Amino acid sequence: MKKILITGALGQIGSELLVKLREVYGTDHVVATDIRKNDSEIALSGPFEILDVTDSKRMFEIAKNHQVDTIIHLAALLSATAEAKPLLAWNLNMGGLVNALEVARELSCQFFTPSSIGAFGPTTPKENTPQETIQRPTTMYGVNKVAGELLCDYYFHKFGVDTRGIRFPGLISYVTPPGGGTTDYAVEIYYEAVKRGKYTSYIEKGTFMDMMYMPDALKAIITLMEANAAQIKHRNAFNVTAMSVAPEMIASEIRKHIPEFEIEYHVDPARQAIAESWPNSIDPSAAREEWGFAAEYNLQTMTSDMLEKLSKKYSPSTMAK
């Protein structure tokens, strides 16, 4: 049975992955860490330690004290924030990653960290982007992600650390909103549809990016971590996707449930430029072939589920509790 340490456990992926991992491996087998603690059920439901991932000594102590054998390193700044604060992004994203890899090396832990469609750039083939292709991103986030993929490869080849990674597209969920990403519009649109019946998109109509519903992302992480090492060739990191969508496509799907829903566009040039530098759609065939990746949700099924869950979350009776 694995004993797992998660960094960034209160973030968008962490807050749901933590619950899922505790269901699978047991509450005491998953140690949550984040830079702050809040009074959410997640933070209070099992082992939790405050950790700034740039503090390598503390990270080592926590991992050693809890005798973990697996590290899932999620703490990082997303693309739009990283672009606004590039030096902070370099220090946090790369500093945190190398600290976590060092702990994995010293304690012989299995290791997972997410990469992103942000690891591609404007010279990458835009449609059906291959697993192995040109990676010359023009954002600080992209530079971090490419360097991170290479660093994880290095720790595998040089030190034998069992590093594994996934290039995630935009992740959509109703539990914890993302913050500072370029694909965040695809989450906000559902919240605003339920709360106000309209949304102003900062991403231009006709801009395609890959997306995936959170349950598929969680399943992908667990499946990859459980996969037989002998099957895995592209360990850092696998392309995965569930859908390639533009804002108007999500809007028209929402309208099937909320016919009066309206979308307007007020484009944010900074985030639009990032979006345009990324692929329109990526090819997940290596993940499918090497460890059986398959997304369950498409735009239709995800939209139904998001709207149902958010309507419950924001219904007057739930809000009054």
Can 185 be counted among the known catalytic residues?
no
Q: Which is nearer to ligand AKB, 211 or 263 (CB)?
A: 211
The distance of closest approach from Cβ of residue 282 to ligand AKB in the complex, given in angstroms and rounded to an integer, is: 11
Binding segment for ligand AKB (CB under 6 A), chosen from 27-35, 148-156, 176-184, 230-238, is 176-184
Which of 200, 168, 197, 144 shows the shortest CA–CA distance to 287? 168
Tell which one of 33, 70, 79, 207 touches ligand AKB (CB under 6 A).
79
By residue count, the chain amounts to 321
To ligand AKB, the closest distance from the beta carbon of 66 in angstroms equals 28
Question: C-beta of 175: minimal distance to ligand AKB in Å?
Answer: 15
| Shortest reach from residue 153's CB to ligand AKB, in Å | 19
H-only helix segments in the chain: 12-25, 41-44, 56-65, 79-84, 86-89, 95-107, 140-159, 185-195, 214-226, 247-255, 269-277, 285-291, 299-313, 316-320
Measuring CA to CA, how many Å separate 29 from each of 14, 20, 67, 126? Answer: 15, 12, 10, 41
Q: Which is nearer to ligand AKB, 46 or 181 (CB)?
A: 181
Q: Torsions phi, psi of 36, nearest 5?
A: -140, 160
Phi, psi at 161, each rounded to 5°: -70, 135
Question: Given the complex with ligand AKB, which of 11 and 181 has the nearer CB atom?
Answer: 181
181 lies in the binding site for ligand AKB (CB under 6 A): yes
Residue from the set 113, 182, 277, 281 that interacts with ligand AKB by CB under 6 A: 182
Angstrom distance (rounded) from CA 259 to CA 284? 34
C-alpha count within 13 angstroms, C-beta hemisphere, residue 173: 20
* Stretch of residues binding ligand AKB (CB under 6 A), selected from 25-33, 90-98, 178-186, 300-308: 178-186
Of 141, 155, 174, 190, which one is the catalytic site residue? 141
CA distance 138 to 241: 22
Looking at beta carbons only, is 165 or 181 nearer to ligand AKB?
181
Q: Which of 46, 170, 279, 284 binds ligand AKB (CB under 6 A)?
A: 170
Q: Pick from 304, 210, 309, 216: which is nearest to 254 by CA?
A: 304
Task: Build a one-symbol-per-residue string for 150-169: x at contacts with ligand AKB by CB under 6 A, - elsewhere.
Answer: ------------------xx
Contacting range for ligand AKB; rule: CB under 6 A; set: 51-59, 64-72, 129-137, 175-183: 175-183
Contact predicate 29/1, CB 8 Å: yes
Residues from 99 through 128 that contact ligand AKB (CB under 6 A): 116-118
The CB-of-297 to ligand AKB minimum distance in angstroms stands at: 17
| Residue that has been written with the tokens 């140690």 in this structure | 31
Residues forming a β-bridge with 71: 5, 111
Helix, strand, or coil (residue 73): strand
For residue 132, the minimal CB distance to ligand AKB (Å) is 19
Looking at the annotation, which residues are catalytic?
141
Which residues lie near ligand AKB (CB under 6 A)? 78-79, 116-118, 141, 168-170, 178, 181-183
